[in-house]
């Protein structure tokens, strides 16, 4: 671990510092590899503070621009973390790329991740190399029969698990990941969502098992019922009930009792709502800015009026520029032929290297990763080309009514999905 970092300054792990040092979460991880029955990530209210909520999703480079501006406004930020709005390791490349940028530019900051653990074992070596010192793993059950009531599905390596199989798989990956983290000397916090009638009498068993694995602290979080989820009608545990649960769990693990149930884009002190100024910085960082090197916007469209074509089906892309303050079609560029795997998307990235953005009705995860990695921001939208292109070219944020999901099956930004993946 770097000697320049004061690891005791983490406000989640040091209660005495929660009003002195702050944290910033970089929302670069929209996808999730499990579906919990208490979670729905499509809602965003600026007055709501809970995991899974963010006003926007940033690319790694946008995240660093945003972090730069946040640190100018809030100098007492000690921790830079990623906690969603999905799971960091359902978005491994974006997560690790962001952490690399932060580690290189701000070596004095504590780096922190929060995960469900499914993708964790595959990333521990890289986590250790980047000096990520604190990892939170959410463990809601160590009995798969109980876990099956909490998790709808889990997805990893192209395979989907359901029911008790999902619960077994999630737990096995969590155990493997926690053991690996502790072998590397990384501090591990266990988050446990306390769900009345489901796992509220199971928390001590979780604490005992996590102690055996070497976990350092536990954070028991009362369920926050969310509309349109399986647990929407459950009642949130009272402070008295939570105090009793924490007291029992404290027989095994030290308890964190000052959790603020932070948003995935939280910035500042724990329990403090995002300042309006910070929200504006977040919005600004998420916008696509045209430059001399990238003055155009590419669009996949069947007829040239609407953004209505999946990238994989587009035989050509329409290229738009600005003329007297209005979007103008510059040319059409034929896309590389299919059948060459990743080479097709690399060639397509080269085809539109002078474009700041690409508008499509849908796009697969792999082409999205490759093309955005070249510096082109991809938007999955529906609506008039003229409206969408003009908003992007004028640096305005696209309205949520225009935004679609990342793939063709309805999964992604606004859908929990079935676990089967999207195209």
Q: What is the DSSP letter of 5?
A: -
pLDDT digits (tens, 9 = 90+) for 22-37: 788 898 888 889 999 9
| 280 has pLDDT over 90 | no
Rounded to 5 degrees, what are φ and ψ at 2? -70, 135
| 90-102 average pLDDT score | 90
| Mean residue pLDDT across the chain | 84
The helix (run of H) or strand (run of E) holding residue 235 is: none
Give the pLDDT band of residue 60 (cuts 50, 70, 90): confident
CA pair distance 275, 285, nearest whole angstrom: 16
Would you state the structure tokens that stand for residue 321, as one six-digit string?
């520029």
Q: What is the pLDDT of residue 389?
A: 94
Contacts 24+ apart (CB under 8 A), 225-234: 225/38, 226/38, 226/39, 226/40, 226/43, 226/50, 227/40, 227/43, 228/40, 229/37, 229/38, 229/39, 229/40, 230/37, 230/38, 230/152, 231/37, 231/38, 231/195, 231/198, 234/195, 234/196, 234/197
Where do the domains of the chain lie, and which CATH numbers do they carry?
Answer: 7-285 (3.20.20.70), 296-393 (3.30.420.130)
Give the pLDDT band of residue 421 (cuts 50, 70, 90): very low
Residues 6+ apart with CB under 8 A from 227: 40, 43
Task: Identify which of 27-41, 65-79, 132-146 has the greatest average pLDDT.
Answer: 132-146
| 147-158 average pLDDT score | 93
**Four-CA torsion 222, 224, 230, 232, nearest 10 degrees:** 120
> Which is higher by pLDDT, 325 or 132?
132
Give the pLDDT band of residue 126 (cuts 50, 70, 90): very high
| 102 has pLDDT over 80 | yes
CA pair distance 108, 28, nearest whole angstrom: 21
Cβ-count burial of 162 within 10 angstroms (0-12 exposed, 13-18 middle, 19+ buried)?
middle
C-alpha closest to that of 138 among 70, 94, 190: 190
pLDDT > 70 fraction of the chain, expressed in percent and rounded: 85
pLDDT digits (tens, 9 = 90+) for 300-342: 999 999 999 999 999 999 999 988 888 899 999 999 988 888 8
pLDDT digits (tens, 9 = 90+) for 228-246: 888 989 999 999 999 999 9
Q: List % helix, strand, coil for the chain (3-state, nearest 5).
A: 35, 25, 45
| 6 has pLDDT over 80 | no
- Half-sphere exposure (CA, 13 Å, Cβ side) for 49? 15
Q: What is the pLDDT of residue 187?
A: 92
Q: What is the pLDDT of residue 372?
A: 81
pLDDT digits (tens, 9 = 90+) for 35-54: 999 887 654 544 455 566 67
pLDDT digits (tens, 9 = 90+) for 369-412: 788 877 788 999 999 999 999 998 887 878 877 877 544 343 33
CA pair distance 335, 352, nearest whole angstrom: 10
Would you state the structure tokens that stand for residue 399, as one six-digit string?
């309205």
Residues 6+ apart with CB under 8 A from 399: none
Q: What is the pLDDT of residue 415?
A: 43
- The maximal CA–CA distance of the chain, rounded, in angstroms, is 70
Lowest mean pLDDT among 47-51, 83-87, 101-105, 284-288: 47-51
Give the pLDDT band of residue 270 (cuts 50, 70, 90): low
Residues 6+ apart with CB under 8 A from 162: 152, 153, 419
Rounded to 5 degrees, what are φ and ψ at 169? -65, -45
| 214-235 average pLDDT score | 90
CA pair distance 98, 93, nearest whole angstrom: 8
Q: What is the DSSP letter of 9?
A: G
pLDDT digits (tens, 9 = 90+) for 190-206: 999 999 999 999 999 99
Could you give the angle at the alpha carbon of 105 between the alpha carbons of 103 and 107, nearest 5°?
A: 50
Q: What is the pLDDT of residue 408?
A: 39
Would you state the structure tokens that stand for residue 271, as one six-digit string?
């329990």
């Amino acid at each position: 671990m770097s000697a320049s970092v004061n690891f005791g300054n983490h406000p989640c792990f040091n209660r005495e510092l929660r009003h002195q040092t702050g944290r910033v979460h970089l929302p670069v991880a929209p996808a999730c590899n499990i579906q919990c029955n208490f979670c729905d990530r499509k809602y965003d209210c600026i007055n709501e503070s809970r995991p899974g909520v963010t006003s926007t999703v940033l690319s790694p480079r946008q995240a660093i621009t945003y972090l730069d501006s946040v640190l100018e406004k809030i100098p007492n930020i000690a921790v830079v973390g990623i906690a969603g709005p999905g799971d960091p390791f359902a978005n491994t490349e974006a997560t690790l790329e962001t952490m690399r940028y932060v580690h290189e530019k701000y070596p004095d900051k504590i780096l922190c991740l929060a995960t469900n653990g499914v993708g964790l074992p595959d990333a521990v070596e890289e986590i250790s190399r980047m000096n990520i010192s604190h990892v939170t793993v959410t463990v809601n059950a160590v009995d798969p029969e109980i876990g099956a009531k909490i998790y709808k599905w889990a997805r990893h390596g192209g395979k989907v698990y359901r029911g008790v199989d999902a619960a077994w798989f999630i737990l096995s990956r969590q155990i493997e990941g926690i053991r690996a983290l502790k072998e590397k000397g990384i501090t591990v916090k266990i988050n446990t969502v306390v769900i009345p009638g489901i796992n509220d009498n199971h928390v001590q068993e979780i604490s005992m098992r996590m102690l055996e694995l070497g976990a350092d602290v536990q954070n028991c979080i009362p369920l926050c019922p969310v509309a349109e989820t399986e647990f929407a009608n459950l009642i949130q545990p009272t402070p008295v009930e939570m105090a009793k649960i924490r007291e029992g769990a404290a027989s095994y693990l030290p308890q964190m009792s000052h959790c603020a149930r932070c948003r995935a884009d939280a910035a500042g002190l724990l329990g403090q709502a995002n300042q309006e100024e910070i929200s504006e910085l977040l919005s600004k960082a998420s916008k696509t800015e045209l430059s001399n090197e990238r003055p155009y916007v590419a669009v996949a469209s069947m007829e040239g009026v609407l953004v209505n074509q999946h990238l994989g089906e587009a035989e050509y892309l329409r290229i738009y520029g600005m003329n007297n303050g209005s979007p103008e079609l510059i040319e059409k560029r034929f896309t590389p032929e299919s059948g060459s795997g990743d080479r097709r998307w690399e060639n397509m990235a080269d085809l539109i290297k002078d474009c700041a953005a690409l508008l499509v009705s849908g796009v697969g995860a792999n082409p999205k990763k490759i093309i955005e990695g070249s510096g082109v921001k991809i938007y999955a939208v529906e609506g008039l080309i003229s409206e969408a292109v003009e908003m992007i070219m004028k640096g305005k944020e696209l309205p949520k009514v225009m935004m679609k999901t990342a793939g063709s099956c309805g999964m992604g930004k606004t859908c929990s999905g079935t676990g089967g993946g999207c195209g």
